[in-house]
Amino acid sequence: MDFDIRQATAQDLERVLFLYREAGISAPADLSVQDATAILSKMSAYPNYKVFVAQIDGRIGGTFALLIMDNLAHGGMPSGIVEDVAVLPSLQGQGIGKKMMQYAMKRCRDHGCYKLVLSSNEMRTGAHKFYESLGFTRHGFSYKVDL
């Protein structure tokens, strides 16, 4: 399956919200596209906080958010946080999530991050196995991958 990962735009938000609902990610059912557009605009004020989408055959089949933040600790090296990873259930198991996470890890490496972390609901054991297969290790109640 061939697909591209790109930064999301306001025009993508209706599909992103749909993906969240389909993948079981907590998103307010009444969050409008207009409200989501305002949030995306606010996120763009951060230097390195982006929402990305995986576009497959002209449609969006996956999404994630990535924040790369500066730190005073760890020698001033930045770190990454990935959030809101979603792939359409009908497209899961086809490598989309893996490529999205590899993309996030590469962006973090390119920015000199010392780690990438994420959190996952304790009930999502399948997701935990997926993250562990990519090199993430359990770190308390969150996961990290050393970059």
For the domain that residue 26 is a member of, what is the CATH number? 3.40.630.30
How far is Cα 27 from Cα 21, in angstroms, rounded to an integer? 7
Range of the structural domain that residue 13 is part of: 3-146
Query: In what helix (H) or strand (E) does residue 39 lie, and over which residues does it extend?
Result: helix 33-43
Residue by residue, pLDDT tens for the chain (147 residues) are 678 999 999 999 999 999 998 888 876 667 889 999 999 999 999 999 999 999 998 899 999 999 999 999 999 999 999 999 999 999 999 999 999 999 999 999 999 999 999 988 778 888 889 999 999 998 866 567 888
Residue 11's alpha-carbon distances to 17, 33, 105, in angstroms, are 11, 9, 26
| SS3 category, 106 | helix
Number of structural domains (the chain) is 1
pTM score of the predicted model: 0.89
Query: In what helix (H) or strand (E) does residue 139 lie, and over which residues does it extend?
Result: strand 137-139
Query: In what helix (H) or strand (E) does residue 6 lie, and over which residues does it extend?
Result: strand 3-7
For residue range 2-28, list pLDDT tens digits in order: 789 999 999 999 999 999 988 888 766
